[in-house]
Structure 1
Amino acid sequence: MSERGETAGKTGASRRALIAVSDKTGVVGFARILSEVGFEIVSTGGTGKALEEAGIPVTKVADVTGSPEMLGGRVKTLHPRVHGAILADRRDPEHVRQLEEHEIVPVDLVCINLYPFEKTVAGGASEDEAIENIDVGGPAMLRAAAKNFHSVTVVPGPEHYEGVLRELEDGEVSLETRRRLALEAFRKTAAYDAAISAWMAEGEPDGEPDGGLLPDSLSLRYEKRLDLRYGENPHQRAAYYSQGGAQHLLSGVRKLQGKDLSFNNLYDVDAARKLLAEFGDEPAAVIIKHANPCGAAVDRRLAGAYRKALDSDPVSAFGGIVALNGELDGELAAEIAEVFTEVLVARSFTPEAREVFGAKPNAVLLEAGDLPRPDAVQKPVTGGLLVQDADVTEDASGYRTVTQKEPTDDLMRDLLFAWRVAKHVKSNAIVLAKEGATVGVGAGQMSRVDSSEIAIKKAGERVRGAVAASDAFFPFADGVEVLAEAGVAAVIEPGGSRRDDEVIAAADRAGVAMVFTGRRHFLH
């Protein structure tokens, strides 16, 4: 009699399920029902013990392989009687013949979840502890079962138990479901390997082969965090994914009210929070429209910062994203509520502020602290990904005045403020600022002169005595001449043009102070 016949004779089971899980959520109930519908349960270590304690008949893996667990549990399932049983394609007569020849009972269902590697390293584990939580047998069995989905059902997590049991009530799991579960299993193992390689890379210096920020190959893991209301347009579906277990855009963010977020909402929230982070704890407000700041300001009080930011471009502020780096009180909430605002971000909201916006249930309120600064920035392109270091935080180091006229201390403060804002404006970018607030922004033009003229138009009379920041050098003197003619008092730019001398001379003729930073801030 074959081993399958012997097993069936002992247990009454006609099918075999291999169960070995780290996350034991729901596994007892899952295994109990499998046993009741005719599965023999084969299990290992802690999983087998938990099932036996629950009164579920269990066959130990060691009894199947004829070999004990070895090397402190590192070797349990790495055996032909396990992997042959999983990988045998029942459609292939030769595979079936070889199973019978070697008296291997095929496995019909594999339920595996992996050692909690990410949770372990997130808790500050030592290198030895982290390494012991790198699963070897689990991914091998998941991949084997997923590869053989025509013959085997792979169950890669507790979230799939209910669906699998529901189909088993009708006799068997459908091929369509088995294929879908196989895809989920491969995604799990790919993500698991990506997490391990990312951890291993943390100790590699940048520039080393296969290590650092720009390795020879790049494996990224993304998890869905949120289904979005729609994409850039209502006919496009969208979701938000975060990279692995890293801090991300919505880390520590609490949604207090409002409709579901859209693709554009989150893109703008990202732009708002990144710009807000430039100002530290100084009371600051930014207003974002189409990922560009239409207003930004700092002040001694948060309300003052918001008013100055709104004054920058009250027309464009309609339907924008407002972000504050302090607590929103009822008085300021009432002011903000007078302008249609899609999303409002603040570190906290007083009960009075919540009450004000309770009358506007569609407005999204997000309670959020500081945005984590990434080490790298990734931009998708067709069929690939561009990766670069994150841009630097500006602190005036290395700046130099290149004109005869030196900027006053007040002008220098505004120049640094404008330069920080320009870093977050789409290129070509010109930012006009005065007294810690933007007064005109020109964004995304192919010509720097066009950006200058747009910013001047937005500023109106406020341009006189304002400062200007240009995210890259002026290739010709015409941009500076346009700004000087409008009344700009000082300009900050990277420098580095072949015509820097002409640009500086134009500033000197107009009596405009000019500061070179030595680095540019293109944002495409």
Structure 2
Amino acid sequence: MRALLSVSDKTGLVEFARGLADLGIEIISTGGTAKALRDAGIGVMNVGDVTGFPEIMDGRVKTLHPKIHGGLLADLDVEAHREALAIHDITPIDIVAVNLYPFEETLRSGTTDEGELIENIDIGGPAMVRASAKNFRHTVIIVDPRRYDDVLTSLRAGTVPMEMRKQLAREAFSHTAKYDATISSWFLQNEGLDFPEEFAIPMKRAQALRYGENPHQEAALYGSFFDRYTSLHGKELSYNNILDIDAAVGLVDEFDEPTVVIVKHNNPCGVGSGDDLVSAWHKAFATDTVSPFGGIIAVNRPVDIAWAETVHSLFAEVLIAPSFSDDALAILTKKKDRRLVTCLPLSRLSQHQTARMNVRSIAGGYLVQTPDNMLVDESALRVVTERQPSTEEMSAAQFAWKVAKHVKSNAIVYALADRTLAIGAGQMSRVDSARIAVRKAQDVGLSLQGCAVASDAFFPFADGLLQAADAGATCVIQPGGSVRDEEVITAANERGLAMIMTGMRHFRH
């Protein structure tokens, strides 16, 4: 029997090769892999000795040769294939262990050197993997070092069973598909082509999840989520936890000052900013003192003992922060079911790690869009009423607008310059969202007098705006664009409101 080993990830390589050699299997190899094996005292034949042709072009061409690919692709059940092997003096290759140049790892390092990235695009490796996987009945292909022991165990027992061969072949094709998709995505991102005629999404399973949105649904997490997030304490993150973490961090990332965001079921239920996290917490929590139980809390400053002592009595599923002090951890880890997660700031992430497209599955396809990551610059805001907003009202309106962007539609947010006062989310009628927000403020005893109100989309009628005015709002921020804008502006003028139009809608479904 003959094995071909050519790997970038040399984890377990020597042990695997030694196991093969002990079984009397001849090993051929290339470049750095061959050197690693020789250094370990394992006999190995260079690929060039098999092909009669040296590696050329700085190693770009090593294994692309009929003596290699004939040995990988020969169907030994077909007489013509056996005859071709004999005529051309080609030895079948029974076992192949290949993993590919580290293109994704190079990309994730943050390099912008196109030449370095290009040189990490493997050509011969994927060709060998695909050839071996196609011929799985006669060639065993291994792309994951964690599989070495499984294969050795089977070989020692006599043969690698067909079921395992098929599984390894499937893993191999998935491996090369993901590899090519990563390269394709880089080219698309580099050239600014967001919606090509064809594209693939590179995904590798990061974690199997206990279940999905509900216990009867199966689920897994794919991608580079854990490049940014690290779990420090508590049970593994659930499907719903991860959704809420993404929502909470997406909102807290909008703020530069110390800010606390509380999320429940993918909706913010309180946001506060202050001189420190303790003051920000009190503002966020006051918005809704019931919903935060079992919710997700994200902050954009390191957590110290003062904040830990403040929030410790509340049960929250997950606390997310850039870091936790040792004193804070000593307090917060007392609750075993509380999950603590650190989150790298956006400034620490590479362009590759922050680039994203929104993909949503539907029956028969996928909807793909660019993310809603734009905020209107103050210079682009248009005051459409007779009364101009005060400086305080403008700050409150911008705070409310940031939050409304992250609330499920229809979204209504009442706010001051540093805190939410009430949030109405997810209603089919905009006026119903406004009513709910007012009622929630009343429930916790918060006054809406003199606040700003944000609507994620235009007011189709004046009724929602009038309800906000009746509740005490003095400034309104909304996209505009309704055929009844003039009617709404007239109503705002009659009630003495200041109204700002952004020209940008923030639907979230």
Aligned residue number for residue 321 of structure 1: 296
Aligned residue number for residue 206 of structure 2: 225
- Are 2:341 and 1:366 equivalent residues in the alignment? yes
Q: Deviations over 1:433-479 (max 9, x none)?
A: 13521111111111111111111111125223221100010111111
When structure 1 is superposed on structure 2, of 192-201 and 454-463 the one drifting more is: 192-201
Does the 8 A contact of 1:258 with 1:363 survive in 2? yes
Amino acid at match of 2:498: A
- Are 2:61 and 1:75 equivalent residues in the alignment? yes
The 5-angstrom pairing of residues 154-165 of structure 1 reads 154-165=141-152
Deviation at 1:426, TM superposition (A): 0.6
Amino acid at match of 1:241: Y
Aligned residue number for residue 130 of structure 1: 117
The 5-angstrom pairing of residues 57-456 of structure 1 reads 57-121=43-107, 122=109, 124=111, 126-204=113-191, 206=192, 212-242=193-223, 249-280=225-256, 282-371=257-346, 374-382=354-362, 383-391=364-372, 392-456=374-438
Stretches of structure 1 that go unaligned for 5 or more consecutive residues are 1-14, 207-211, 243-247
- The SS at the match of 2:389 is coil
Does the 8 A contact of 1:378 with 1:385 survive in 2? no
Q: C-alpha distance in 2, partners of 1:476/1:443?
A: 18
* Residue number among 510, 518, 524 corresponding to 2:495 in the alignment: 510
Q: C-alpha distance in 2, partners of 1:274/1:374?
A: 11
Does the 8 A contact of 2:399 with 2:417 survive in 1? no
After superposition, the CA RMSD in angstroms is 2.0
Amino acid at match of 1:262: S
Q: Deviations over 1:244-270 (max 9, x none)?
A: xxxx54434332211111011111011
Alpha-carbon distance change, 70 to 327 in structure 1, aligned in 2, over 3 angstroms: closer
Q: C-alpha distance in 1, partners of 2:233/2:39?
A: 46
Deviation at 1:113, TM superposition (A): 1.6
Q: Deviations over 1:214-249 (max 9, x none)?
A: 22221221122223343211232322212xxxxx54
When structure 1 is superposed on structure 2, of 344-353 and 255-264 the one drifting more is: 344-353
Aligned residue number for residue 51 of structure 1: 37
Instruction: Using the aligned pairs only, state the percent identity.
Output: 50
Alpha-carbon distance change, 436 to 196 in structure 1, aligned in 2, over 3 angstroms: same
Alpha-carbon distance change, 180 to 416 in structure 1, aligned in 2, over 3 angstroms: same
Alpha-carbon distance change, 283 to 133 in structure 1, aligned in 2, over 3 angstroms: closer
Alpha-carbon distance change, 302 to 35 in structure 1, aligned in 2, over 3 angstroms: same
Q: Deviations over 1:169-212 (max 9, x none)?
A: 101111111111111111221122122223333432x3xxxxx2
Does the 8 A contact of 2:358 with 2:371 survive in 1? no
Q: C-alpha distance in 1, partners of 2:505/2:139?
A: 57
Does the 8 A contact of 1:375 with 1:390 survive in 2? no
Q: C-alpha distance in 2, partners of 1:462/1:225?
A: 46
When structure 1 is superposed on structure 2, of 340-349 and 41-50 the one drifting more is: 41-50
Q: C-alpha distance in 2, partners of 1:125/1:292?
A: 36
Q: C-alpha distance in 2, partners of 1:348/1:45?
A: 43
Q: Deviations over 1:472-498 (max 9, x none)?
A: 101111111221122221110011111
Q: Deviations over 1:385-426 (max 9, x none)?
A: 322223203432311111112211111111000000000001
The 5-angstrom pairing of residues 436-515 of structure 1 reads 436-460=418-442, 462-515=447-500
- The SS at the match of 2:367 is strand
Does the 8 A contact of 1:433 with 1:440 survive in 2? yes
Deviation at 1:145, TM superposition (A): 0.2
Q: C-alpha distance in 2, partners of 1:24/1:92?
A: 35
Alpha-carbon distance change, 354 to 196 in structure 1, aligned in 2, over 3 angstroms: same
Q: C-alpha distance in 2, partners of 1:492/1:92?
A: 74
Deviation at 1:125, TM superposition (A): 6.7
Amino acid at match of 1:508: N
Q: C-alpha distance in 1, partners of 2:459/2:379?
A: 21
Amino acid at match of 1:299: G
Q: C-alpha distance in 1, partners of 2:30/2:328?
A: 56
Q: C-alpha distance in 2, partners of 1:71/1:25?
A: 27
Deviation at 1:123, TM superposition (A): 6.0
Q: C-alpha distance in 1, partners of 2:303/2:114?
A: 44
When structure 1 is superposed on structure 2, of 498-507 and 377-386 the one drifting more is: 377-386
Amino acid at match of 1:139: P
Amino acid at match of 1:457: R
Does the 8 A contact of 1:379 with 1:385 survive in 2? yes
Amino acid at match of 2:57: L
Does the 8 A contact of 1:473 with 1:494 survive in 2? yes
Alpha-carbon distance change, 302 to 394 in structure 1, aligned in 2, over 3 angstroms: farther
Q: C-alpha distance in 2, partners of 1:229/1:339?
A: 25
- The SS at the match of 1:293 is strand
Alpha-carbon distance change, 445 to 328 in structure 1, aligned in 2, over 3 angstroms: same
Q: C-alpha distance in 2, partners of 1:369/1:115?
A: 27
Alpha-carbon distance change, 120 to 258 in structure 1, aligned in 2, over 3 angstroms: closer
Give the length in aligned residue pairs: 498
When structure 1 is superposed on structure 2, of 146-155 and 132-141 the one drifting more is: 132-141
- The SS at the match of 2:93 is coil
Does the 8 A contact of 1:312 with 1:440 survive in 2? yes
